[in-house]
Amino acid sequence: MRFPTLSTMAPAALALLALAVGGCGSDVKSRFTQLDNPNTGEHDFDGTTADGECLTSVQCEDGDLCTENRCVDRQCVAFTLPTAECCETETLFEDSFDGSGQPGVSFAQLNADAGWSVSKERAASPPGALYFGDPARQSYNTGDHVAGVVTLPEIKLPSDREILFSLRIYALIETNPEFDKLSIEADVIESGTVSATKTVLDKRQLPVDAYQGFALVTAHLDELAGRTVVLRIVFDSVDGSNNNYEGVYLDDLRVLASCPIPAGVCATDDECDDGDQCTASACTELGCVTTTICELPDDEPVTHVDDSPCSAPDAPADCCVSDADCEDGDQATINVCDGATCTLTLNPDGCSAAADCNDSDQCTTETCVEGVCQFAGTTGAGCCVDGVEHLADFDNETLQGIYVTDNFETGLFWRPDPTRATSGRFSLYCGDPVRQTYANDARVKSSATTRPLEIPSGGRTAISFDLWKKTRTTRNYDVFTVFVLRDGALQTAWSSKSLTDGTTGGAWQRITVPLDAYAGQSVQVRFVFDSVDAPTGLFEGVYVDSIALDTRCN
């Protein structure tokens, strides 16, 4: 089969994964720096820890459809799904490339130098696996641009079952997302022609483990249920330089029809948190499941299971894990835990009674709470107007009035980035734009502060934003905090420590932070990411998008 030219291939099959033009990371020139050792094929990744500990949930994946796997406090936890038969699974397609291949599988390549073939050099389930490269060279370093496509036969997906595409991937390629692209595309077939193409997996979604050995990678096809699809696996080196790597191995390809599609019960792990620190909770297709993760005598009090940075040998100066750790009892100051360091600011509105807080605004009520004036809007006539003020979406690749600082001058700070977004192409990201990680040899801390915001006197106002956070799962490290800055005083409004494991579980989550206490005031909102220590695990980091100020009269 002759390989189609790049100009005639489906656009989604060879779509470029745009490199982060701006990102919380290195300077512009460094994004083109090769991060791997082209002579040995070694990669700048270390996704594991000693003593069988885990850093990411993907390290805990056991391939068992009857369990849900999470990394909780560096230990793998398996949740047994609550069903007797754990859903009978039907195999719609399967090929392990160990002998006679499945009929209808076809191969195509850009030129004769390198392409897809069956190899016995490496395999997740020996003897064979699918390999991209030149088998004679055991490399795709041909001096030319190389690319290839594996096309699976048409598959009719059931309309009432969950569909899972799973495979084992070993990627001995550049880790830079700009080059050596690997993606899985699904062509939707209607009346014998392609009506739509969907990317179900791309290189940016590969777990760290896939660069170190065969890793189980899965992609859900539920939104294609009931359709006839053709799945295509695409590798494209993009150029002919810096290709001295072995290539890509794929094994144990399976398309599975599993459980009946349920009504939505939960969306995130956080919704399943029962507040018990000795149980772990997870949101699965069957709803919330829990399991015990610690055993204590009945008369022994439960303590926090998260590691405390303040007990570490490299603990920050003036270390803290909560605002209470910083309280000095002086009403003339406001004390907050900024990441893991106590921060003191002068109190501009100290009070001993509500009368001390009178602002002469008929649309607000004033109270004195713990020695600080707080304000609330009323809904009286002429006092409130419903409305949403969109503050920043970063879609023109600018900060849109957000002021950014790099607290420890690590070169890692908030910038617009095209890797993930909920509106348009860009969001605000904190991590290296080349490797898509915030790993560093020193503590990383960066703040992003809005322009002054006039909080309406009437109604109830909140700031809302989309958050994507994939970091370590100990809540007192890699802390994301929302602060309110008013007249020089810094006050805590929200923290990622309130999330079940300190992350959003690899998904976008809409966060709403009430600003009722600042009705009628001029404030700034500050977003702070603080790794607390030198982060060595290669986690992706934190993204913020679609920041808005929302006022409601009811």
Per-chain mean pLDDT for the chain = 79
408 shares its domain with 531: yes
User: Taking the chain, what is the end-to-end CA distance rounded to the nearest angstrom?
Assistant: 65
The stretch 6-26 carries a mean pLDDT of 32
What does the pLDDT read at residue 428? 95
329 shares its domain with 248: no
Burial call 351-371: b when 16+ CB within 10 Å, e when fewer: beeeeebebebebbbbebeeb
Q: Which of 210, 230, 260 is the last residue of a domain?
A: 260
> How would residue 60 be classed by pLDDT, with cut points 50, 70 and 90?
confident
Mark residue 276 as left, alpha or beta (left: phi above 0; alpha: psi -120 to 50; beta: remaining): beta
64 shares its domain with 198: yes
The stretch 492-501 carries a mean pLDDT of 89
What does the pLDDT read at residue 129? 93
201 shares its domain with 331: no
> How would residue 434 be classed by pLDDT, with cut points 50, 70 and 90?
confident
Q: Which two tokens stand for residue 349?
A: 């509105």
The stretch 286-290 carries a mean pLDDT of 67
Task: Please list, in sequence order, all residues whose beta carbon lies within 8 angstroms of the beta carbon of residue 223, skipping any fewer than 6 positions away.
Answer: 198
233 shares its domain with 340: no
* Residue appearing with tokens 């209607």: 190
**Statement: residue 207 has pLDDT above 60:** yes
What does the pLDDT read at residue 283? 76
Instruction: Tell me, yes or no, whether 312 lies in a domain.
Output: no
Higher pLDDT, 251 or 49: 251
Kindly tell me the sign of the dihedral angle through the C-alpha atoms of 368, 373, 378, 383: positive
Instruction: Tell me, yes or no, whether 284 lies in a domain.
Output: no
When divided into structural domains, the chain yields a total of 2
Higher pLDDT, 187 or 298: 187
246 shares its domain with 364: no
The stretch 284-305 carries a mean pLDDT of 51
Instruction: Tell me, yes or no, whether 89 lies in a domain.
Output: yes
> How would residue 41 be classed by pLDDT, with cut points 50, 70 and 90?
very low
Among candidate residues 211, 249, 181, 240, the one with its CA nearest the CA of residue 13: 181
Domain limits at 374?
Answer: 323-552
Strand partners, 376: 365
Instruction: Tell me, yes or no, whether 60 lies in a domain.
Output: yes
Instruction: Tell me, yes or no, whether 286 lies in a domain.
Output: no
242 shares its domain with 125: yes
> How would residue 177 be classed by pLDDT, with cut points 50, 70 and 90?
confident
Task: Please list, in sequence order, all residues whose beta carbon lies within 8 angstroms of the beta carbon of residue 506, skipping any fewer than 6 positions away.
Answer: 57, 468, 470
Query: What single-letter amino acid sits at 473?
Result: T
233 shares its domain with 114: yes
**Statement: residue 300 has pLDDT above 50:** no
The stretch 272-297 carries a mean pLDDT of 64
Q: Which of 215, 231, 260 is the last residue of a domain?
A: 260
349 shares its domain with 248: no
pLDDT tens-digit series, residues 210-268: 888 898 888 888 888 888 999 999 999 999 888 999 999 999 999 988 776 654 457 77
Look at 13-27, 288-302, 441-455, 498-512 and tell me which has the smallest mean pLDDT: 13-27
What is the distance between the alpha carbons of residues 10 and 351, in angstroms, rounded to a whole number?
66
Higher pLDDT, 281 or 416: 416
CATH code assigned at 533: 2.60.120.200
SS3 65: coil
HSE, CB side, 13 Å, CA atoms: give it for residue 446. 27
**Statement: residue 100 has pLDDT above 80:** no
388 shares its domain with 464: yes
Q: Which of 222, 237, 260 is the last residue of a domain?
A: 260
What does the pLDDT read at residue 7? 34
238 shares its domain with 355: no
The stretch 540-548 carries a mean pLDDT of 94
For residues 535 and 529, the answer to whether their CB atoms sit within 8 Å is no
What does the pLDDT read at residue 161? 78
Instruction: Tell me, yes or no, whether 306 lies in a domain.
Output: no
Largest CA distance in the chain: 85
What does the pLDDT read at residue 381? 67
Instruction: Tell me, yes or no, whether 251 lies in a domain.
Output: yes
The stretch 118-124 carries a mean pLDDT of 92
Instruction: Tell me, yes or no, whether 256 lies in a domain.
Output: yes
221 shares its domain with 335: no
pLDDT tens-digit series, residues 387-399: 899 999 998 889 9
Distances (CA, A) of 247 to 41, 113, 129, 352: 10, 13, 12, 70
